[in-house]
Structure 1
């Protein structure tokens, strides 16, 4: 079994050393960078299996780096590791392309569990269709590019919006549980992830309201059902 590479982008030397040693002791190969620029270079040069990313770095925001990477790679797991803990910070993290969000101070064991959970799902959680458009009522949806089109109007979805819509499409006309969505896409079903999911569902409903035949129903106590 090949050793999986973790790219740790963290500018606090003591914390970085603790995380690095803990991951190495669990059998991971760890690449460390202290800035966005160095992290991006290591991403290009080393092709890590997962990125653990601080948000507040000396040369900018980890959210911006996540967006940049998502333009190149829609599948690479990204875990934010940050002291930014407001609900909007969490939403911003997922909207920028993060798969998980762990607030400082944190448990090293919890970080390792979350890394393993994301890696165990492989490079792609859901089977992708080919590059052709997916018909969705009067819309066409191109995944994984995240392009939603209708009558000449085009909306570019965020990575997370596209992933959620794709899962709903693959499970159209049946109830898709909140827990299934959260565990598959976030790797956990905690309060902050649940609130983020609610935000994304609201946005998707707004995008789809131009076609009354397409609707995302909230099945109370169960989950969501895409009707088309």
Structure 2
């Protein structure tokens, strides 16, 4: 059965969630704060991370940044009472895969965990070559976009989106496909989040005026190089 790393600084809630997961057959690693959670992640390499956002010492967003440096694929779910759009978008931008607002149903939590685990890739192709995008060089494995002596470090989701656009360059990358693969579903909110990431990639690539990311209304996006 799958191993869940649970990081939650409210002891009562942490115990309830841990017990509920263990009853359903999950192996649960529990930490009460971010630094401890990161150490457990690096030691045990769990199948999924479920982390509170607001924690002492290291918050959930910072934890996610560290985890994404080690593992670009492990699913990360945030638990939080914060529901402002900016917070949610930031969580996805840092590599989060799902966002559950407190208070939540334990049944819903478990359904979402199982959904994320089903989407987790069993193997990930390793890309070591630099990909030419106009005058830029793109390193998908290190999430770096380079032009001359300048390097931009992309977020996990920016790099994955750019990789897909590159693989489909001069063709349409379907919006519904990329939303399902990177966000989990093609809901309206996730669509807005995708639009934010497209805008960021356009900004990163603006030094080469020959490069365009075109919006194909109602269908998707096309990278023209």
- TM-score under structure 1 normalisation? 0.90
Structure 1 residue 199: Cα displacement:
1.1
Q: How many residues align?
A: 225
Distance (whole Å) between structure 1 residues aligned to residue 72 and residue 122 of structure 2: 9
Structure 1 gaps, min length 5:
none
Structure 1 residue 18: Cα displacement:
2.6
Deviates more, 1:116-125 or 1:85-94: 116-125
Name 1:65's counterpart in structure 2: 63
Query: CA 1:186–1:154 in structure 2 vs 1: closer, same or farther (change >3 Å)?
Result: same
Query: CA 1:29–1:43 in structure 2 vs 1: closer, same or farther (change >3 Å)?
Result: same
Distance (whole Å) between structure 1 residues aligned to residue 24 and residue 166 of structure 2: 38
Q: Is the 8 A contact 1:114 1:187 kept in 2?
A: no
Name 2:47's counterpart in structure 1: 49
Name 2:130's counterpart in structure 1: 133
Q: Is the 8 A contact 2:75 2:120 kept in 1?
A: no
Per-residue CA distance 1:152-207 (angstroms, 9 max, x = gap): 32211111111111111122222222221121112133333222211111010111
Correspondence 1:181 to 2:162 = no
Distance (whole Å) between structure 2 residues aligned to residue 47 and residue 22 of structure 1: 21
Distance (whole Å) between structure 1 residues aligned to residue 115 and residue 15 of structure 2: 22
Name 1:225's counterpart in structure 2: 222
Q: Is the 8 A contact 1:87 1:192 kept in 2?
A: no
Query: CA 1:144–1:113 in structure 2 vs 1: closer, same or farther (change >3 Å)?
Result: farther
After the TM superposition, which residues 1-228 of structure 1 pair with which residues of structure 2 at under 5 Å, given as runs? 3-123=1-121, 127-228=124-225
Structure 1 residue 129: Cα displacement:
4.7
Distance (whole Å) between structure 2 residues aligned to residue 116 and residue 65 of structure 1: 22
The CA RMSD over aligned residues, in Å, is 1.9
Structure 2 gaps, min length 5:
none
4+ long deviations beyond 6 Å: none
Distance (whole Å) between structure 1 residues aligned to residue 187 and residue 32 of structure 2: 29
- TM-score under structure 2 normalisation? 0.91
Query: CA 1:45–1:154 in structure 2 vs 1: closer, same or farther (change >3 Å)?
Result: closer
